[in-house]
Amino acid sequence: MAKQEKEEDTRFSKFGTVSFTALTKTNDFIDYLEKGKLMGTRCKKCGQIFFPPRANCYSCFSSDMDWFEVSGKGRLLSHTKLEYAPVGFEDDLPYALALVDYGDYKVFGRLNKDIPGGEIKVGMEVAPQVVKLPKGHISYEFTKA
């Protein structure tokens, strides 16, 4: 009897404008985004916090993780606006990237492109929001808190 083809869990292929990863043990990240939540992981055994999320802990080698929500205000550490893009991202131009500090961890992502340039300052408070993209893709960005 022919073996039934096992269905692959490729949820992560929906992440961002172009995803380069399909199979990962952190696929639930996508489900949380669809519920409007940006999540990181915390090791159940030793408490180590991870953003970006990880399925495995290098501190204690446990793979038993809890999800925690990245919500509320973070501090903008740096940002840049791109006028030139890699293949696959041309239609997004111009777009901005941000690195945001949450104290115990940092988060990298897009910066909302509608914030007037003069209002963007290193050190300002920003908060994450989930963004739905064409073709069923999903992502997150930061906007003024």
Q: According to CB under 5 A, which one of 9, 32, 37, 48 is a site residue for Zn ion? A: 48
Q: Which is nearer to another protein, 21 or 46 (CB)?
A: 21
Do 107 and 75 meet the contact criterion of CB atoms below 8 Å apart? no
Least separation in angstroms between residue 53's CB and Zn ion is 13
46 touches Zn ion (CB under 5 A): yes
48 binds, among another protein, Zn ion, none (CB under 5 to 8 A by kind): Zn ion
Separation between Cα atoms, residue 12 and residue 137, nearest integer Å? 9
Q: Which is nearer to another protein, 2 or 73 (CB)?
A: 73
Kindly list the residues in this chain that would bind Zn ion in the complex (CB under 5 A): 43, 45-46, 48, 57, 59-60, 62
